[in-house]
Amino acid sequence: MLDPILITELAILGLATGFLAGLLGIGGGMLMGPFMTLILSMQGVAADLAVKMAIATSMATIVFTSISSVRAHHKRGAVRWNIVKGLAPGIVIGGALASAGAFALLKGTALAIFFALFVGFSATQMFLDKKPKPSRQMPDSAGQVAAGSVIGFLSGLVGAGGGFISVPFMVAHNVPIINAVATSAALGFPIALANTLGYIYSGATLVGLPPHSLGYLWLPALAVIACCSVITAPIGARVAHRLPVAQLKKVFALLLYCLAAYMFWKGLHG
């Protein structure tokens, strides 16, 4: 039986990340990760294991959040399903490679710094509202599979739904921001599913896991956060369709700057 205070903390986290998932097309994993690490550490889980379980559990919640979010966006005709079809195969491949292999091996300090620089550059491009060349379109099938592999792989390493990469990527190829956000929400499902299965596989033989764990997943937190996040994800999606495009871009850029700062700090401090 979970402590009522712990349930409340997890519920608040789920409500916040669900709203962000709908608003910005992100899975919320980067927001959940630090808080989940703290919560698991307070449950007596070793530091290194707590970080990995936080990442994995955060990613697993995106399976549910993305479904709720994408339904709201799909009703408004905003999801570009042709892009989802093009990127999804690569996402599954990249996610499986990250979660079932590299996740258990890498410490990722250098990756974190590179990640921060990349995300910071993407945020600057979006904040300044720099326009891509009018002739630039989404790459062909092979290019989309390759891009999806990168999105899935990096998402698997940091436990995020991929919106921090996929939204700037689509906007840079002349996909309108509201369509990019909605499509990113749809891409969150294959990203989360592929990585979650990998986390279960790679953590199957671990010792020292807290009660009610499945591989790297902590099931009690998954249940509470998922139940709460599906409530607020449609609300975030409705708000996204009411905001001016330029304002939505700036909101997304500010979130990316926060993400970049966090990743850079993690990289510097090992």
CA distance 203 to 198: 8
Range of the domain at 29: 4-268
For 79-90, give one letter per residue: b (16+ CB within 10 A) or e: bbeebbebbbbb
d(CA 19, CA 3): 25
Number of compact structural domains in the chain: 1
DSSP class of residue 98?
I
Per-residue pLDDT of the chain (270 residues; tens, 9 = 90+): 678 888 998 999 889 888 877 776 665 666 677 788 888 888 888 777 887 888 888 888 888 878 877 888 888 898 999 999 999 999 999 988 888 777 766 654 665 676 677 778 767 866 776 666 767 788 899 999 999 999 888 888 776 767 778 888 898 888 988 898 889 888 988 888 888 998 898 888 888 788 889 998 999 999 999 899 888 888 887 887 787 766 777 777 787 788 778 768 766 775
d(CA 59, CA 1): 23
pTM given for the model: 0.74
Does the CA dihedral 191-192-193-199 come out positive or negative? positive
